[in-house]
């Protein structure tokens, strides 16, 4: 397992979740100065979380930060399959660490928040309308757009991007959140959803409820399917 890939993904994904789940905590938890600031703040916060995490570690390993991206790039031959365990292992560990840091950072706000659903929403996604097939398709579409865009933006034939690639990818995530995020909260990343959900289950959060394991497979499997499809389609383009 190449250690530089693993540790870069731990740091990058940890930063992603700290900033991403952190903005959700700021908006949803009681007595936060950002309380009730809304969906635009959440989607923009996640976009900047992606951009800053990619800028932070992209020079070391490409900053996948997402198993759906890793698997999509491996399927089209951009990432060596031998490195996939290092990428995904780092992403999973980093996502858990980032979630724990959010819990620590907002430690005095959990007991002030009565709704257990809001506490869960800080850590992981949930559907606006619970319909497994519909929710699965939403995650497939959102992650298709993400990985298709990542492949196109980072292609060696794309001379329009340069050093702005991480920021443009962040803006892509912003667009996905605004346009496609409403039905499921746009997990579009198995590590981003699964590991913070596990953190929610394990951590001593006052007044927490269920971790909603009945839904947990959808934001894992849907993004993997969408990511692979997005990479395959983008790979067919003359880019």
Q: What pLDDT, in 10s, does the model give residues 125-171? A: 999 999 999 999 999 999 999 999 999 999 876 666 678 999 999 99
Torsion of the alpha carbons at 109, 115, 117 and 119, rounded to the nearest 10: 10
Indicate the pTM of the whole model: 0.96
Task: Specify the number of domains making up the chain.
Answer: 1
Q: Which residues contact 127 (CB under 8 A, 6 or more apart)?
A: 134, 135, 183, 184, 185, 215, 218
239 pLDDT higher than 80: no
CB-count exposure of residue 99 (10 Å: 0-12, 13-18, 19+):
buried
Position 196 scores a pLDDT of 98
| SS3 annotation, 19-59 | HHHHHHHHHHCCCCCCCCCCHHHHHHHHHHHHHHHHHHHHH
Place 60 in a pLDDT band, splitting at 50, 70 and 90: confident
Position 160 scores a pLDDT of 61
Mean pLDDT (the chain) is: 95
Place 62 in a pLDDT band, splitting at 50, 70 and 90: confident
Position 1 scores a pLDDT of 58
Residue range of the domain that includes 47: 3-235
Structure-block tokens of residue 190: 């198995």
Q: CATH code at 68?
A: 1.20.1080.10
Q: What pLDDT, in 10s, does the model give residues 173-229? A: 999 999 999 999 999 999 999 999 999 999 999 999 999 999 999 999 999 999 999
Position 128 scores a pLDDT of 98
């Amino acid at each position: 397992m190449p250690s530089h890939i693993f540790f870069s993904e731990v740091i990058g994904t940890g930063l992603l979740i700290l900033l991403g789940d952190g903005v959700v905590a700021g908006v949803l938890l009681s007595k936060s100065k950002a309380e009730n600031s809304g969906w635009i703040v959440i989607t923009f916060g996640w976009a900047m979380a992606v951009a800053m995490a990619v800028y932070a570690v992209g020079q070391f390993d490409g900053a996948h930060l997402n198993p759906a991206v890793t698997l999509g790039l491996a399927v089209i031959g951009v990432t060596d399959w031998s490195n996939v365990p290092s990428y995904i292992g780092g992403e999973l560990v980093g996502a858990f660490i980032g979630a724990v840091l959010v819990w620590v950072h907002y430690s005095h706000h959990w007991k002030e928040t009565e709704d257990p659903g809001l506490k869960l929403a800080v850590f992981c996604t949930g559907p606006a309308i619970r319909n497994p097939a519909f929710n699965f398709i939403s995650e497939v579409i959102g992650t298709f757009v993400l990985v298709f865009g990542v492949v196109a933006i980072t292609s060696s034939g794309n001379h329009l991007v340069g050093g702005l690639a991480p920021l443009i990818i962040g803006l892509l995530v912003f667009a996905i959140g605004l346009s496609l995020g409403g039905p499921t909260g746009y997990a579009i990343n198995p590590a981003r959803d699964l590991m913070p959900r596990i953190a929610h289950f394990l951590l001593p959060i006052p007044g927490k409820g269920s971790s909603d394991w009945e839904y947990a497979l959808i934001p894992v499997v849907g993004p993997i399917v969408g990511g692979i499809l997005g990479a395959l389609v983008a790979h067919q383009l003359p880019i």
